[in-house]
Amino acid sequence: MANINFEGKSLLITGGSTGLGEGMVNAFSKAGAQGIILDLRPPTELKQGWIFFECDVTDEGSVREAIDSVPEEMKPFDFLIANAGVVPSWASIADTSIEVWDKVMAVNSRGIFLILKYGSKLLRTPDGAVVVTASINSWKGDANIVPYVASKHAVLGIVRSAALDLGKSGIRVNAIGPGPIATGALLSRIESRGVNTNLSVESALELLSKQTALGRLASIEDVAGVALFLCSDLARGVTGQIINVDAGLL
């Protein structure tokens, strides 16, 4: 990551206040970039050169208002990172409510569409880059999490189609497919599931690690590193793709 220099570059990122998004903001900031974070809540620390706008990515008016608020001096952006997402609690398809289905699809799919619809207009042309946080569940299924899997399959379709639409303007669009990452959100879900599985958080993480080729979970820094790569000139010939960051989940 230290070899990529983004001095003078700027980006717009959704869901940049916590988890993977926070890790990406840290990585891009260390590489010299500045930008705008769109999220429902502000980050605990707003880095120099960065601006925060409250935004609900499921609401078209909220997204449009946030985009309209971007200062002229920060336009055009070099990079757009559509990262905001939500993971529901585990439940069988029979026990999944329509309210949960609608919420997950709204954040994970409609939210991606809306930020691309409005945010892509602020991207530098040519040579702008879009990175979308998808999932390994963009290409594989898992039990007890149907809304999430469906929403992330939709995300991959959006990425592949957007790559064709925006490619005409010289903008690249790619996705990252994280596997299990030990974010606060994942640890919280593991802890809640432990009531039924009788597994401690440490034991559950160890089991997940043993399922990977590297014998460890991929990290937030691993995901951020791939985002840096996809936005850099090293990936000038890459578009419409998904790169899994899962430590070789088998």
**Element housing 26 (H / E):** helix 19-30
Q: Are 136 and 178 in contact (CB under 8 A)?
A: yes
Alpha helices in 75-216 (DSSP H): 98-105, 111-119, 146-167, 184-197, 201-210
Distance CA 247, CA 181 (A): 10
Which of 47, 39, 41 has its CA nearest to residue 85?
39
Task: Give CA 70 to chain center in angstroms.
Answer: 21
Phi, psi of 34 (to 5 degrees): -135, 170
Distance CA 37, CA 54 (A): 8
36, burial (CB in 10 Å: exposed 0-12, middle 13-18, buried 19+): buried
Which of 28, 5, 154, 18 has its CA nearest to residue 79?
28
- Choosing from 86, 115, 148, 176, which is the catalytic residue? 148
Distance CA 45, CA 40 (A): 15
Query: Catalytic annotation on 118?
Result: no
Catalytic residues: 148
